């Protein structure tokens, strides 16, 4: 994974409305692999705060979310090349 891809995964994981399934669909990383990446990349306190925020959050898991969202980005926030 390139530095740019890793940075994008971290950004997507940090966003409250991007589900882990969207990260998997785009980068092939499971939730546990994303957690490992975040643990390795963030400061310990930042990681702890992130885990507390996303644990059990409906918006981070498609199975808990209604209606289903399949995109991995907000079309008005990013210009994809």
| pLDDT in the model for residue 65 | 53
| pLDDT in the model for residue 70 | 55
**Can you give the chain as a three-state secondary structure string?**
CCHHHHHHHHHHHHCCCCCHHHHHHHHCCCHHHHHHHHHHHCCHHHHHHHHHHHCCCHHHCHHHCCCCCCCCCCCCCCCCC
> And the tokens for 9?
């995964």
Helix 20-27, helix 31-41: angle, nearest 10: 90
Extents of the domains making up the chain: 3-64
Mean pLDDT by 10 residues, the chain (81 residues): 94 89 94 96 95 81 58 56 49
| pLDDT in the model for residue 46 | 95
């Amino acid at each position: 994974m390139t530095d740019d891809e890793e940075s994008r995964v971290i950004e997507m994981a940090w966003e409250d409305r991007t589900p882990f399934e969207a990260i998997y669909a785009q980068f092939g990383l499971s939730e546990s692999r994303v957690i490992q990446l975040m643990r390795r990349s963030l400061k310990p306190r930042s990681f702890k705060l992130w885990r507390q925020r996303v644990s059990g959050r409906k918006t981070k898991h498609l199975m808990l979310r209604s209606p289903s969202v399949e995109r991995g980005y907000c079309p008005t926030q990013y210009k994809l090349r």
